[in-house]
Structures are given as structure tokens and as C-alpha cells.
């Protein structure tokens, strides 16, 4: 597409390229995002920096304009698709640690909620840190979570919610685990933009995770404690 004064991504310096990628994400330009990601990686950027500085930061701008009624669902969907295309390139790189598996996590977005970008990111980063990840996708009922936790013999349950209307469903899942006497069998981590630590505590989760990096660290800490308990 020879438009916009023929911007050639590879000719931009790093800072200009990242800003251009924020624009391209905003405009839902999937191929440009894929090109931008490849260029940054070729220039020696780490997959993590590429993800956070180019993609996640760009999505934050989209989120603000969505909130303010400047962007609408169709545009945000295009932006989300472009973001996913960039993430698909980074996924194998983030996962390529070869580390022994440190634990197993079942993760999914709660019932009524179709946001999955943040959850996917957490899954990728967890895999990159050596966890086995079973991704249940979006719109998960309590039955789906429970069935997967038992089937997979998971160590960790991760739940994601992006809507204030769907986040209370996390408590439904935790309460059901309590009723069935299964609560203590799993480390429960929750995350998503509208949550906070207080909410995590109030619903009985083990921890609220602000972002994917915190989720990885928290999961590692809890798995370390679990192993110590088993050894002691």
C-alpha cells in the first residue's frame, strides 16, 4: 500500500518505528504490525520488549479511545486482530526456553466475557517461563473450569475478566471449588484490567496479578512454596 507518504518501516529508527506501530495497531493494519515486529526482532529487540513497548503500549491507546467513544467495536476488533498477529510471531520466541516444566496451569476467560488478548499473553509468558499451559479460551462456565482442573491435574487455575459485569463470576468458581472441598488443591491467580488486589482477596483468590510478568513471578513463588511444603 503506497499511501501516507510511503512510510517504509525499515527506514524508521527504533523510536519512530514503535510510534508508527502504535498508529498501525490503532488502524488495525495487521501486515504492518507483523512487519514491524519482525524488524524490531531483527534489530535485536527482545520478544518481551517488542511485546510490551510496541504492542501492549499501542493497545493501551486503543483502550483509552474506546473508553472515550472515539473508537467503536469494529475498529477495536481490527486492532485486536493486528495485535494477535504480532503476538503469534512472538509466541514461539517467548516459549523457547527449554526449561523443565515447573508446573501446570489451566487458564481461561470467565463466562460472559470474550476478551482474550491479556489471557493469551499470560499463557505465552507462562509457557516461556517453563509452565505447561492449558488454555480453555473464552466464556468459561464453572463446570468447564472444574472439569479441566481435574482432567489436567493442574497446579494453578488462572482466570481472566475484563468487564466489571463478569469479574464477580470468579467468585462463583472459587466458591464452587470450596463447596466441593477442592479449593486447597489449586493455586488460584486472577487478573484483568478492572480487578485489583482487594478484589482478589475478597473473592478468595491466592493472588491478583497486575500483568503477565507478575503472573509468572507469582506462579513461580507459589510453586516454590508448594514444593517446599511437600518436601518439609
Residues that bind ligand B1M (CB under 6 A): 56, 59, 62-63, 66-67, 73, 76-77, 80, 107, 112-119, 121-122, 158-160, 162-164, 189-194, 209, 211-212, 215
State which residue, 32 or 58, has the beta carbon closest to ligand B1M: 58
Shortest Cβ distance from residue 140 to ligand B1M (Å)?
A: 12
Residues 6 or more apart whose CB falls under 8 angstroms from that of 121 comprise 51, 56, 87, 212
C-beta of 101 vs 232, nearer to ligand B1M: 101
Shortest distance in whole angstroms from residue 30 CB to ligand B1M: 14
Where do we find the cell 503469534?
88
Q: How far is the CB of 115 from ligand B1M (least distance, A)?
A: 4
Measure the CA–CA gap between 21 and 25, rounded to whole angstroms: 6
**Cβ proximity to ligand B1M, 63 vs 204, nearer residue:** 63
Q: Please, which residue, 16 or 114, has the CB nearer to ligand B1M?
A: 114
Smallest gap, in angstroms, from Cβ of residue 28 to ligand B1M? 11
Ranges of beta strands (E only) in 101-177 are 103-109, 131-135, 156-160
| Rounded least distance, CB 6 to ligand B1M, Å | 30
Query: Based on CB atoms, which residue is closest to ligand B1M, 39 or 136?
Result: 136
161 close to 192: Cβ distance less than 8 angstroms: yes
The neighbour count for residue 93, using CB atoms within 10 Å, is 16
**Contact indicator for 50, 68 with CB cutoff of 8 Å:** no
Task: Report the distance separating Cα 188 and Cα 105, nearest Å.
Answer: 10
Amino acid at each position: 500500500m503506497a499511501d501516507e507518504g510511503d512510510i517504509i518501516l525499515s527506514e524508521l529508527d527504533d523510536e519512530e518505528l514503535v510510534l508508527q506501530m502504535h498508529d498501525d495497531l490503532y488502524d488495525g493494519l495487521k501486515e504492518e504490525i507483523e512487519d514491524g515486529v519482525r524488524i524490531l526482532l531483527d534489530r535485536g529487540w527482545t520478544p518481551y520488549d517488542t511485546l510490551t513497548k510496541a504492542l501492549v503500549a499501542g493497545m493501551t491507546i486503543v483502550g483509552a479511545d474506546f473508553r472515550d467513544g472515539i473508537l467503536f467495536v469494529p475498529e477495536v476488533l481490527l486492532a485486536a486482530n493486528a495485535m494477535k498477529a504480532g503476538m503469534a510471531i512472538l509466541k514461539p520466541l517467548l516459549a523457547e526456553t527449554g526449561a523443565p516444566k515447573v508446573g501446570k496451569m489451566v487458564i481461561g476467560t470467565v463466562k460472559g466475557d470474550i476478551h482474550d488478548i491479556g489471557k493469551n499473553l499470560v499463557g505465552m509468558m507462562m509457557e516461556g517461563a517453563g509452565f505447561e499451559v492449558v488454555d480453555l479460551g473464552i466464556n468459561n462456565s464453572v463446570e468447564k473450569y472444574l472439569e479441566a482442573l481435574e482432567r489436567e491435574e493442574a497446579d494453578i487455575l488462572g482466570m481472566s475478566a475484563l468487564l466489571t459485569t463478569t469479574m464477580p463470576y470468579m467468585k462463583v468458581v472459587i466458591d464452587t471449588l470450596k463447596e466441593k472441598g477442592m479449593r486447597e488443591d489449586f493455586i488460584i491467580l486472577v487478573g484483568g484490567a478492572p480487578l485489583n488486589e482487594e478484589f482478589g482477596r475478597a473473592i478468595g483468590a491466592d493472588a491478583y496479578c497486575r500483568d503477565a510478568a507478575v503472573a509468572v513471578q507469582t506462579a513461580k513463588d507459589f510453586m516454590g512454596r508448594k514444593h517446599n511444603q511437600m518436601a518439609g
